[in-house]
Structure 1
Amino acid sequence: MTWLPEDLDKFFGLFRPDLVGQRPVVDSIDGGYLQTSYNLTPFNLEADLDFQYAMALTSPATVLDIQVGDEFVSGDINNMLAAFDRYYCGSLDSSLDPQYPDPQPGGYNKTDCGNVTPPKVLSISYTDPEDKFPIAYLKRQCIEFLKLGLMGVTVVASSGDYGPASGYSPGTCINNTTGVSNATTGEFSPQWPAACPWITSVGGTQRLTQSTGGNGSVTGTTNVIRNTQTADEETAFNVVLPGVQSTSGGGFSNVFPVPAYQHKAISTYFDRRHEGAHLASLQENGFLNLTRAGRGFPDVSALASTYLVYVEGVLETVYGTSASAPVFASIITLINNERLNAGKAPVGFINPVLYAHPDALNDIKTGVSLGCGANPAFRATEGWDAVTGLGSPDFARLKDVFMNIL
């Protein structure tokens, strides 16, 4: 995935003229490089989106582009983590699904092992089904995210765009017979790395009066859950696409238990009279992996609708948590800058603070997620929910909370 310089400049020329000519700093891992030979939406859209908004929102902070894998062997999150921590290099696993194995160091033009410094805020916009990986593999990788948090790194990841289903179009679910995420109905399919309790998972919202249009990667008419709220308030992200409906990803891990910082929020969610009855009805209808024992996600949410992005010279409208994740990461970067200017350390792992101060976020109380045959699957409600988490950020309130922490 590579951003195109001309796309950045067109975007900056429209929204941030002072940034025209500015570029992300490329951090190459295992031969990572900028691929500009092929200008195709699958290669350019995600990177154009991430860096146009991250740079525009956080300037003059330095934005890093972590490029993993050379032109012959692509890399993955595991290779990135190995570059951050030399003790993790031995955990690369080439025995996974042949279509998605961990590339091994011998296949690269160069090998990076513990010699790359991670950024203070790391944003990941890609998800995989949790059940695609062995449990031991998931737990070991999740420990690396914990290590990054202890090092002062905030790891942010999108929650997915298909409600309780996986990100494989049109959104697949765990087959009740085979246990594999390859069905259109069945058990809910938690997303990775969103299900790791040591990262901050970001869901999606949209305005109640959200307009439609555009021809981006995720486009279509918006499906709005209307109520008596004012027009400028938010609801859960929910967009009708050709052949599929895209909604804020969320659910409960089948591998990781509820972390201590989330116990109260999860219990309250299940114990609410109306919500508890709805969740019980889901279980009665075959969604047996829905329990209060699993780590819930997302943790927070942010706008995931109607982003203007230049892709291959064309201004497009883009939707999804691939947009909300880097925007939330940008907000944390701005807060880090405020703390650094005050002589304080970066915030690092933020989830315990967020759950201790839910009033620093805008609680999203309307909207639903769909998927795996459940309509609705989860519903946004007062407090934490498995659609929008604790809610969307209020920068001033979040900054006040984090500035008052030593």
Structure 2
Amino acid sequence: MVSTHPTLDSIDGGQAPVNTSDAGGESNLDFMLSIPIIYPQTTTLYQTDDLYYAEGGNGSTGGIFNTFLDAIDGSYCTYSAYGETGDDPGLDPTYPDPNGYQGQLMCGVYKPTNVISISYGEQEQDLPAYYQERQCNEFLKLGLQGTSIFVASGDTGVGGIPGDGTANGCLRNGTVFSPTQPNSCPWLTNVGATKVYPGRTVFEPESAVVDLAGHPYSSAFSSGGGFSNIFPIPSYQADAISTYFADYNPPYPYYYNGQYNGTDGLYNRNGRGIPDVAANGDNIAVYLEGNFTLEGGTSASSPIFAALVNRINEERIKAGKGSVGFINPVLYQHPEILNDIVNGTNPGCGTDGFSCAPGWDPVTGLGTPNYPKMLKLFLSLP
């Protein structure tokens, strides 16, 4: 029997696998959903940073993804943009680490896979704009080189995690919607979450996920979505967002250019929209820490969508073509290859959040994948 265990690319002292009792729910969920879809293709785990920094380090590190990007692109280690060169000494881990990994910072030691799925993130408010803008340029570079990057859009609707900044994770005294990071970078594909109605089948229309606390998870869960306070609307998304505002205008006051202080606005009217697409993310059966249980979240949706694109890459390569790379422009030009989701909301910040609508919306994006239609279109492209 061929092993399905992921290949480990350890970065700066990252360790895996671990004892069953210490299994991480995020990675576990990603692999259990993606491997059955892409098998017998293999998977790679990029395990980043030594235990000292993974557990919070000296308390000063709040950055994310930079040491990972260093390892798959050596030029990023010294790349200068937005007033910063290389990693941020106050936000990112520094190596050698006298408390852990004692080697040099790993730069360009691994090749990026054709598809990367990320189920981790923060809120835009957690990091300086310059940090996110420099990093976003690297995501663009990877996309142009043929790597498709998918990111879970978040599980707290239009807000952030409670206790993150304010009691309910929202901005300006807990009222303004809080965009997720790195999701707001326009060169990533954000994936929201849907669910199948009780008593229905997957062949019937789905809904955006809205689960109350305790049903079935300990915390409330709704599909992350909204508009960036840092990045403007990208050109490929402009028509979709314009149509959404014209036909299904949200019932909330808004502001422009990310400037919410001094206004009564709740969201940025000219920010990059989140998410781009969606996939099932509710009531997922998993085996974790030696037990069968249920998990869910956009952390399930992202690897599902990413795995289907990996299958498409496989067929394109068989046909003598390359990987699809950054796919958002194609998706927005051809929404017919996705199943439009028109029911559901993503509550947060004391509101019902945004509502699903025909076409793109800031809850489930353009919709869920229709693999036969996606495969046919992408095989027709150069």
Query: Given the two structures, how large is their TM-score scaled by the length of structure 1?
Result: 0.82
Q: Which among 299, 323, 326 is matched to residue 276 of structure 2?
A: 299
Give how far 1:116 is off. Answer: 1.5
Instruction: Summarize the Cα distance change of 1:39–1:287 in structure 2 as closer, same or farther, 3 Å threshold.
Output: farther
Matched, 1:267 2:260: no
Q: How many residues align?
A: 353
Please, which of 80, 89, 111 is the counterpart of residue 68 of structure 2?
80
Q: Report deviation, 1:109.
A: 3.0
TM-aligned CA distance change 1:277 to 1:370, over 3 Å: closer
* 1:334-372 C-alpha deviation (Å, 9 max, x unpaired): 000000000000000000000000000000001111001
Residue 161 (structure 1) aligns with: 155
1:53 corresponds to 2:41 = no
The equivalent residue for 1:236 is 208
Q: Secondary structure at the match of 2:125?
A: helix
Find the partner of 1:146 among 140, 143, 156: 140
Which among 350, 372, 375 is matched to residue 396 of structure 1? 372
Q: 1:278 deviation in Å?
A: 2.0
State the alpha-carbon separation in 1 of the partners of residues 264 and 371 from structure 2: 37
- In the other structure, the counterpart of 2:4 is 22
**1:193-231 C-alpha deviation (Å, 9 max, x unpaired):** 1111000000000012269xxxxxxxxxxxxxxxxx998
382-391 vs 71-80, which deviates more? 71-80
- 1:170-319 mapped onto 2 (5 Å cutoff): 172-176=168-172, 185-209=174-198, 232-242=204-214, 244-272=219-247, 275-276=248-249, 278-280=251-253, 288-319=265-296
| Displacement after TM superposition at 1:72 (Å) | 3.0
CA–CA separation in structure 2 for the residues paired with 1:247 and 1:210: 20
Amino acid in structure 2 at the alignment position of 1:120: N
Q: Please state how far the C-alpha of 1:281 moved relative to its aligned partner.
A: 8.6
Distance 2:264 2:109 in 1: 44
Q: Is the 1:70–1:109 Cα contact (8 Å) retained in structure 2? A: no
Measured in 1, the distance between the counterparts of 2:219 and 2:119 equals 20
Rounded Cα–Cα distance in structure 1 between residues aligned with 2:313 and 2:125: 34
Amino acid at match of 2:353: A
Quick one: which amino acid aligns to residue 64 of structure 1?
A: T
* Secondary structure in 1 matching 2:304: helix
Deviation at 1:86, TM superposition (A): 2.0
Match of 2:93 among 79, 100, 103: 103
- CA shift, 1:138, in A, is 0.6
Q: Corresponding residue for 2:81?
A: none
The structure 2 residue matched to 1:130, chosen from 99, 120, 124, is 124
Q: What is the one-letter code of the residue matched to 1:173?
A: G
| Aligned equivalent of 1:32, options 3, 11, 14 | 14
**Does 2:308 correspond to 1:331?**
yes
CA distance 1:309–1:230, shift in 2 (3 Å): closer
* Alpha-carbon contact 1:207-1:231 (below 8 Å) kept: no
3-state SS of paired residue (1:104): coil
Report the CA distance shift for 1:22/1:230 in structure 2 as closer, same or farther (over 3 A).
closer
Out of 292, 298, 302, the position equivalent to 1:321 is 298
- TM-score when scaled to structure 2? 0.87
Per-residue CA deviation, residues 61-94 of structure 1 (Å, 9 max, x unaligned), is 1210111112333394110011122222142113
Please name the residue that 1:344 is paired with: 321
**Matching residue within 65, 90, 96 for 2:45:** 65
* Counterpart Cα distance in 2 of 1:28 and 1:231: 40
Q: Output the CA distance in 2 between the equivalents of 1:146 and 1:395.
A: 25
Whichever residue aligns with residue 359 of structure 1, its letter is E
The aligned counterpart of 2:58 is none
Q: Which residue of 77, 89, 101 maps to 1:94? A: 89
After TM superposition, give the deviation of residue 309 of structure 1 in Å: 0.4
Structure 2 unmatched ranges of 5 or more: 55-62, 79-85
Distance 1:348 1:291 in 2: 28
Classify 1:173/1:344 alpha carbon distance in 2 versus 1 (closer, same or farther; 3 Å). Answer: same
User: 2: distance between equivalents of 1:230 and 1:316?
Assistant: 21
1:270 and 1:279 in contact (8 A); partners too:
no
- Equivalent-residue separation in structure 2 for 1:51 and 1:210 (angstroms): 28
- Structure 1 45/244 Cα, relative in aligned 2: closer, same or farther at 3 Å? closer
Range with greater deviation from structure 2 (130-139 or 81-90)? 81-90
Alignment check: 8 A CA contact 2:159 2:179 kept = yes
Query: Aligned partners of 2:44 and 2:16: how far apart in 1?
Result: 13
Q: Note the aligned Cα RMSD (angstroms).
A: 2.4
CA deviations 1:249-282 (Å, max 9, x no partner) are: 000000000000000000001111xx21524599
